Every structure is written in structure tokens, then in C-alpha cells.
Structure 1
Amino acid sequence: MERHINLEEISDGKLYGLNDMVRADCGDCKGCFACCTGMGRSIVLDPLDIYNLTVNLRRNFQELLSGPLELNVVDGIILPNLKMCGPDERCAFLNQEGRCGIHKFRPGFCRIFPLGRLYENRSFSYFLQIHECRKENRSKVKVRKWIDTPDVRKNEQYIADWHYFLKDLQEMLKASCDEGAARRINMYLLNCFFVTPYREDEDFYPQFYERLAEAGKQTV
């Protein structure tokens, strides 16, 4: 989900790369789970998030939609997001002790928090959201270590490619004003990137790019 932001208001005014130090380490979030509540539909999931959830929870996408996930329209495109539950709007994966039940394979949005991504020139940089985390006196940590993502360079390229694929598609849908075509494209994208299972015994990224290439042909 793209936000129109003023970096001076929400960040420390700096942009970070993987090897930069940033004051993001909150000491394992001990005693705090504020960022796991009241998030509405903002924790939008990408295909890698769904791959990790289905593989590790041994549940397919449709089963997850009947429980901890839901679908929402994001700038004209239907995408899955984490569901908030109960009167205090807790993440569906937050356990009774206030700890993340999927921490080892948590979504990318959660993995980089309190960092955000600033997309520019078909790529992105990280920035520190200074108002989002309630923990005080956070310590410095290297961005690469903080986001703790395997094949991180490959992951960054994937994140950028997925983002700009959606952005280009959103612009195309806005220009077409064809509601029927928009519905068909949305159903195709859901099936292509989320509903159809990925092969667990193969690397995710080549499978994703196969689907991305095919989707590019189907949605032009």
C-alpha cells in the first residue's frame, strides 16, 4: 500500500541502505506489542509472505482467508492483509502472552518495522519511522541484521519488482475505467500469485518471476 508522506514529519530525515546503522533495535519488544494492535487493514501481504505462511502453517491460501487473513481493495487491486481481531484489534497471530506466533516467518512489513520503504526510480531505500514504535532508547543496529531476511539482495529486487508491477497495473486500471476488465484482472492476479500453490521444494523467487512474466502478458 502506497502512502503519500512528508519524510520530515515522520522520520529522522535520513535514508538508509542495508549496511547503514539505524536506531531501530527495541530489545526484542519485551513487554510491548503495541505495533501488533490497531493496524486495521494496513499490513498488506505480498506473494512471498503468503508462500511463507502456507508452507510453515501447512494451510493453503483459502484456509488462511477463513481465519487470520482477509482480502481488501488497495488502490484498485485486491490484496490480502493480516486480520485484526477483537475489541482491541489484535493481530490474529498474536498469542495470549502478547508475542508473535509466527515470528520466524513473519511478513516483510512486520520484519522491517519500525523502518519503512521509500520507493524511487524503480527501487527503494529504508527510512526510520520515529512515531510508530513506543519503545524508547532504541539502540543502533545494521539494517541488514535488523530485517533478518535470507538472500536479502534478491529479496530487495523482488520487493521493488512486485511494488512497481502493482503500481503500473494500478495506473493502467485507472486509465481504462473498465470495471469488468478490472474484476477479471483482479481475479487473475489472486489466482496467479496467491491461490495457486508454489512448489515447496524449489526456490520461491524463480517461481515468482515465471508468474510475473506470464502476468505481464495477461494484463497488458
Structure 2
Amino acid sequence: MKTINRLEEISDGKLYDIDDIVKADTYGCNGCSDCCSDVGELVVLTPFDVYEMVSYLGVDFDELLGDKIVLRPNNKILLPHLKMQDNNKKCSFLNKEGRCIIHSKRPNICRLFPLGRVYKDDDFKYFLQVGNCPKEDLKDVKVKNWVGIENYEENRKFILEWYKFIKALTFRLKFVRDEKEVEAINQILLDSCYRIKIKEEDNFYFVFLKYLPEIKNRLGII
């Protein structure tokens, strides 16, 4: 989670709502993939991100593990991250031409750049990262158009619920000292949230949020 104090150092000092105008449009990137390099520790994948990937590629979550996705510990929580290639630190979803093979279904964090999210009071705002995109003279664009998420309100609700869920699980794990118990909790997390089976005709958000209380109960969090 980004803090307001930290944001002053990395942003233009403003917070944006979904209907605001921001200088974030890279007008096509023109072949640049600089933001897809050496970001393995930054791009944490949500269950929705993974659902979009596996549905688009027609594979299972475990088929992407090791090759395209890697599990990294974060405050004892084992979460999927984008895997960088070993030789050049480029994202493993880039093809030989440097183009993203899942661009239409890319993770939320990738979709936002050069924007980011900051959470406050059970809500979030957007901020513009400065100095990270090599493109000059970024153009004005409405945040909603830049983000380009279908069913935005459902997505927003999911993001907030997931943020609160991870925050609660982080607090819960502070009091768990036994490594086997931590391992068991992470197994439940991965099985319940990332290996979730959703029928093609079903709505991800509805199904996930329907089962979230049961998942919380299994993990011992409120």
C-alpha cells in the first residue's frame, strides 16, 4: 500500500478519481516495453488477474507456475507474481518482438501504468507515477478510458474486498509462528482463491465474493 507521504516523492502530488483527466496516455507505446522489465517483485497478481490469464490462454493456474508466474512470500503470505525471464529480466509474457501475449487480459497493475492506486478509508484513488515511463509528453486521458476495465464497479468492489482480505490475513499471520501452519494457510489461499473453478457462463466477481466468507472462515480471519 502506498502512503500519502511516499506519494509526494513519486507522483505529481495529485489524487485522481475514475472520471478525472490525467496525463497518462502513452499513445500506443510505439514498441516500447520498458515498463515490462525487472518488475517481478512489483506485479502481484490478484485472483481476477489469474482468472483472466488462464481463461484467455485456456490453461490451468499450475501450468503457468514456474514458467510465467512465480510464488513470492510477502509478510508470510505466498502470492503469485509475474515471472521475469532469467536472461534479460523481461516479463515472461513478452514475445520475441517484445509484445505482450496477454495484452487484452493483462494484470490490473500493468493496465494502470503509469498510474497507480493508493488506499485510504476503505476506498482508493489513482495517482500518476512520474519519472518511470520513458515516453515524453504524455497526453491527457480520462482515467476510466485509460484503465479500460469492463464492469468497472464490480472490479472496484472486488479490488477493495481483496485488499481488505489480504490486510486481514497479514494481521492473522503475525501471530502464527509454526511454519507448517503458515504453509497450510498459504495452501488454502492458493487453492481457494487462485485455483478457483468458474464456469464460462458464470460471473467471476459474483462467484468469488459468494465464496469469500467461507474462505475467510477456513483461514481464521474476520
TM class by shorter-chain length? over 0.9
Give 2:151's aligned amino acid.
Answer: D
Ranges of 4+ aligned residues in structure 1 off by more than 4 Å: none
8 Å Cα contact 1:75/1:170 also seen in 2: yes
Aligned-partner Cα distance in 2 for 1:54–1:87: 25
The 5 A counterparts of 1:90-109 are 90-109=90-109
Secondary structure at the aligned position of 1:141 is classed as strand
The 5 A counterparts of 1:178-189 are 178-189=178-189
Aligned-partner Cα distance in 2 for 1:176–1:68: 30
Deviates more, 1:79-88 or 1:142-151: 79-88
8 Å Cα contact 1:11/1:127 also seen in 2: yes
Alignment root-mean-square deviation, CA: 1.4
8 Å Cα contact 1:7/1:13 also seen in 2: yes
Taking structure 2 as the reference length, what is the TM-score of the superposition? 0.94
Cα deviation, residue 84, structure 1? 0.3
Give 1:64's aligned amino acid.
Answer: L
Which residue matches 1:88? 88
Aligned-partner Cα distance in 2 for 1:142–1:128: 12
Cα deviation, residue 198, structure 1? 2.0
Cα deviation, residue 3, structure 1? 4.8
**Count of equivalent residues:** 219
Identity %: 41
Cα distance change on mapping 1:62 and 1:164 into 2, 3 Å: same
Deviates more, 1:112-121 or 1:4-13: 4-13
Cα deviation, residue 172, structure 1? 1.4
The 5 A counterparts of 1:114-125 are 114-125=114-125
Q: Which runs of 5+ in 1 are unaligned?
A: none
Deviation string, structure 1 residues 124-165 (Cα, Å, up to 9, x no partner): 111001122111100010000000000111111110110111
Aligned-partner Cα distance in 1 for 2:74–2:210: 24
Aligned-partner Cα distance in 1 for 2:159–2:6: 22
The 5 A counterparts of 1:21-170 are 21-170=21-170
Q: Which runs of 5+ in 2 are unaligned?
A: none
